Amino acid sequence: NAGVMQNPRHLVRRRGQEARLRCSPMKGHSHVYWYRQLPEEGLKFMVYLQKENIIDESGMPKERFSAEFPKEGPSILRIQQVVRGDSAAYFCASSPPQGRLAGGSYEQYFGPGTRLTVT
């Protein structure tokens, strides 16, 4: 069973360009979380999605950032008109549906991250 996959692993964008980060959850997982890690900081929650639904986007900046998790295909985190402050590592995590019914795993499995550099 492949783990959470993220691509690209490294992404360089000039200021003003768009960045698209992809996350393929583990097989059977229907919950996806995006976190951002700034240098010397822990991970900060951005957005939580289930298939075709945004459940919680309280951690995502109101402008320029959007996320989706379509019925088919990976989850996408999109950053429009990137600025230098967007440079960070972006991690995706997935978890199985109905945590309590799935043996109470409550565990989020993390991908290797996408390191975005804005020049």
Partner 1 sequence: AQSVTQPDIHITVSEGASLELRCNYSYGATPYLFWYVQSPGQGLQLLLKYFSGDTLVQGIKGFEAEFKRSQSSFNLRKPSVHWSDAAEYFCAVGPGGNTPLVFGKGTRLSVIA
Q: Count the site residues for partner 1 by CB under 8 A.
A: 30
- The verdict on 74 binding partner 1 (CB under 8 A) reads no
Cβ–Cβ under 8 Å, residues 77 and 34: yes
Q: Which two tokens stand for residue 112?
A: 């290797």
Other Cβ atoms closer than 10 A to 102: 13
Examine residue 97 and tell whether it contacts partner 1 (CB under 8 A): yes
Q: How far is the CB of 98 from partner 1 (least distance, A)?
A: 8
DSSP class of 84: G
Q: What mask, x for binding partner 1 by CB under 8 A, covers residues 42 to 61? A: xxxx--x-------x--x--
Contact flag: residue 28 with partner 1 (CB under 8 A) = no
Alpha-carbon span 78 to 23, nearest angstrom: 11
3-class DSSP assignment, residue 85: helix
Where along the sequence are the contacts to partner 1 (CB under 8 A)? 4, 31, 33, 35, 40-45, 48, 56, 59, 91, 93, 95, 97-100, 104, 106-113, 115
